[in-house]
């Protein structure tokens, strides 16, 4: 065995018989330190226990037709009936699933109804929506829904030909009515004349009034287009923007009683009944009016 001095760590080889099974006191020759040396115990592995003989696996029954049929009948037999607690848990689970499905259907149904109501309200009150949010007019137009962004409409429209001396004059008359709920300023009215190729060949912007119109009220107007182009075959009246008032030649002339000069003949009976072009009781925002000597007329509110 090998002994190591616990004081100076000097190592010595000693015979196991000299130490003995009870141990003995030894002294280091290098430093003179003495200590009690215990014998070194020999660790022996226990004898291996005899391994128990494993039982041989029983021989499997050969897979015959009778065995297959027996296994099939055993698989088809119902298992044990569930307990009352298991039935209750299953019933609770089914009820909670039905409640969740019913709640989801109610939520989706309410959401769909709200969206449908909102869409219906926007369509029904698109006029008010367009007045509050003018950009929505393009969305309504894409859906084929007419929207009057001004909240104003033309009524009692008529077009006649007249003369100012030797100058031919085209007289466009009618009234602008406020169909909204609030007072509104009337934008200028643009008169456009087009030829047979739908090219605009004449434009006149005329202010109607600078005073607001109350809800449901109307203001009459008469616009005189002097010396209109002879090649004009189409007339369109629309509202212009307020920024175009600088193009207007002053407020429109509200027709006074016509007074003929003494040296001119007053023609008080029209030769063509087509001078009266619209039914005064029929409101017009966009209308095709009959021709006046070959001139087709169109009035729009936007």
Confidence (pLDDT) at 28:
87
Q: First and final CA of the chain: distance in angstroms?
A: 118
Structure tokens at 171: 């007289």
pLDDT tier, 21 (very low <50, low <70, confident <90, very high otherwise): confident
| Phi, psi torsion values for 208, nearest 5 degrees | -95, -55
Quote the distance between the C-alpha of residue 26 and its chain's center.
99
Lowest mean pLDDT among 45-54, 203-212, 258-267: 258-267
Task: List, for residues 284-302, the tens digit of each pLDDT value.
Answer: 333 333 345 556 555 555 4
Contact 46, 64 (CB under 8 A): no
**156 class by beta-carbon count within 10 Å (0-12 exposed, 13-18 middle, 19+ buried):** middle
80 pLDDT higher than 90? no
Name the pTM for this structure. Answer: 0.41
| Domain edges within the chain | 2-37, 152-299
228 pLDDT higher than 60? yes
Confidence (pLDDT) at 266:
46
pLDDT tier, 5 (very low <50, low <70, confident <90, very high otherwise): confident
24 pLDDT higher than 60? yes
pLDDT tier, 272 (very low <50, low <70, confident <90, very high otherwise): very low
CA pair distance 162, 294, nearest whole angstrom: 15
82 pLDDT higher than 60? yes
Residue predicted with more confidence, 272 or 97: 97
Task: List, for residues 229-269, the tens digit of each pLDDT value.
Answer: 888 888 888 888 877 654 443 333 333 333 444 444 444 44
Confidence (pLDDT) at 264:
46
Contact 5, 28 (CB under 8 A): yes
Confidence (pLDDT) at 26:
84
Quote the distance between the C-alpha of residue 57 and its chain's center.
72
Task: List, for residues 179-201, the tens digit of each pLDDT value.
Answer: 888 888 888 988 888 898 888 99
Confidence (pLDDT) at 218:
92
Average pLDDT over residues 209-221: 90
Confidence (pLDDT) at 245:
55
Sign of CA dihedral 89, 95, 99, 100: positive
């Amino acid at each position: 065995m090998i002994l190591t001095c616990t004081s100076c760590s000097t190592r010595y080889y000693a015979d196991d018989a000299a130490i003995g099974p009870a141990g003995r006191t030894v002294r280091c020759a290098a430093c003179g330190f003495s200590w009690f040396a215990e014998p070194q115990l020999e660790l022996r592995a226990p004898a291996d226990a005899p391994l128990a003989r494993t039982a041989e696996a029983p021989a499997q029954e050969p897979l015959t037709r009778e065995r297959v049929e027996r296994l099939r009948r055993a698989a088809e037999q119902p298992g044990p009936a569930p307990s009352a607690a298991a039935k209750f848990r299953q019933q609770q689970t089914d009820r909670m699933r039905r409640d969740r499905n019913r709640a989801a259907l109610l939520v989706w149904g309410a959401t769909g109804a709200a969206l449908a109501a909102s869409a219906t309200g926007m369509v029904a009150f698109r006029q008010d929506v367009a007045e509050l949010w003018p950009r929505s007019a393009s969305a309504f137009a894409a859906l084929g829904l007419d929207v009057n962004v001004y909240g104003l409409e033309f009524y009692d429209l008529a077009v006649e030909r007249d003369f100012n001396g030797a100058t031919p004059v085209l007289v466009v008359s009618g009234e602008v009515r406020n169909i909204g709920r609030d007072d509104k300023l009337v934008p200028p009215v643009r008169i456009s004349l087009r030829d047979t190729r739908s090219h605009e060949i004449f434009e006149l912007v005329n202010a109607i009034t600078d005073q607001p119109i109350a809800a449901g009220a109307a203001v009459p107007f008469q616009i005189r287009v002097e010396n209109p182009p002879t090649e004009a075959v189409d007339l369109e009246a629309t509202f212009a923007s307020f920024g175009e008032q600088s193009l207007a030649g002053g407020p429109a002339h509200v027709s006074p009683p016509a007074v003929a000069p003494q040296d001119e003949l007053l023609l008080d009976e029209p030769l063509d009944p087509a001078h009266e072009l619209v039914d005064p009781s029929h409101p017009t925002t966009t209308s095709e009016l009959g021709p006046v000597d070959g001139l087709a007329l169109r009035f729009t509110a936007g």
